[in-house]
Amino acid sequence: MSARSEAVLIDVVRTPVGRGKPGGMLSGVHPVDLAAGVLQALLDRTGLDSAQIDDVLLGCVSQVGDQSSNVARQAVLAAGFAETVPAATIDRQCGSSQQAVHFAAQGIIAGAYDAVIVGGVESMSRVPLGSSAAGGSPMSPRLRERYPEGLVNQGVSAELIAQRWGLDRDALDAYAAESHRRAATAWDEGFFDRAVVPVAEAPGARRDETVRATTASGLAGLQPAFRTDALAARFPDLDWRITPGNSSPLTDGASAALLMSAERAEHLGLTPRARFRAFTVVGDDPLMMLTGPIPATRRILEREGLTIDDLDVYEVNEAFASVPLAWAAELGADAAKLNPRGGAIALGHALGSSGTRLLGTLVDHLEATGGRLGLQTMCEGGGMANATLVERI
């Protein structure tokens, strides 16, 4: 292995996403097998032997039940990989698989890896959101000393963001409806055909189950999802405008990407699709929680000597409509470049899987449009965010 290698993306795949509830189209598929399917797909598409992979790093948020005991290692074995291939599961909340990309690419640049598969999985139908906290609480006595009123769930943070940036209900619903329109158009035009691979255990799952025909007026009738009497008393100025319609839905899905050093790719005769230019991760206010993409973007642009106008596309995870809208307002971003193929409001947010799903959409868009530079950024539980800058080759 050589030091200071260039980290490149060879390929990236994902499953179609299913609704993350009983009866969803992927709810009958064990998450280990969901992840195993995308791992197998990468080998099939590149012709690699699994023994050529140095490590497998998968993101997963709720690491209990069906997703326990290092789900990445279980997926490697279920995929039929050589038993010599190690694996680790990463939790940086919603950015878990994006962080997996960072760890792998940084390891390649440092000369510690030649070839790594990264990705993520989340079956929110089988392992519901919040399962990992069952029977306990992360709010320790010391943490309560620092935050005596307690922290809040992400929906309330999305409400606080909407209030701070003056985003009314009409703006949130209009953004959500546009996300669905863009996603449906992308599917109809075959944009996702390259990235999406079939799920052997669910042969009828061919298209994202979460994309639907909707309008802002149709979303207007939905009720706020996160208001309680106790929270209304704590935050009396909130208008409570975050609904299921302008939030990302609970989702099942898996995604994976193959990263290599440029030297190893050349040796194996594989053509890289993109190179990794820069990475950053930040901490931010844990009460607002979802504002981290703003300082993360500023930091990565400053490090690279770029402005937002130098970028051809930006994928900003749509955990809630208020997140990308506040980000765009702060950065002066072009709305046409923001999640142009739809975002998580339409395409779903299978937590541990979303980072590499966004990476695939980003690179596919750069290739389809001839763009060069793309930014991916993801808000994360606890008030964090990752940002990744990629360059199409």
Active site amino acids: 94, 349, 379
Distance between CA atoms of residues 243 and 221, nearest Å: 10
Cα R_g (the chain), whole angstroms: 20
What tokens appear for 97 in the block?
């698989």
Distance between CA atoms of residues 64 and 132, nearest Å: 6
What single DSSP character describes residue 283? E
| Residue found under tokens 């195993």 | 36
| DSSP H helical ranges for the chain | 31-46, 71-78, 96-110, 141-146, 154-164, 169-188, 216-219, 229-234, 262-268, 293-304, 322-331, 344-347, 354-369
Residues 6+ apart with CB under 8 A from 350: 17, 20, 120, 121, 122, 123, 124, 251, 252, 253, 254, 357
Closest CA to 356 of 197, 185, 151, 231: 197
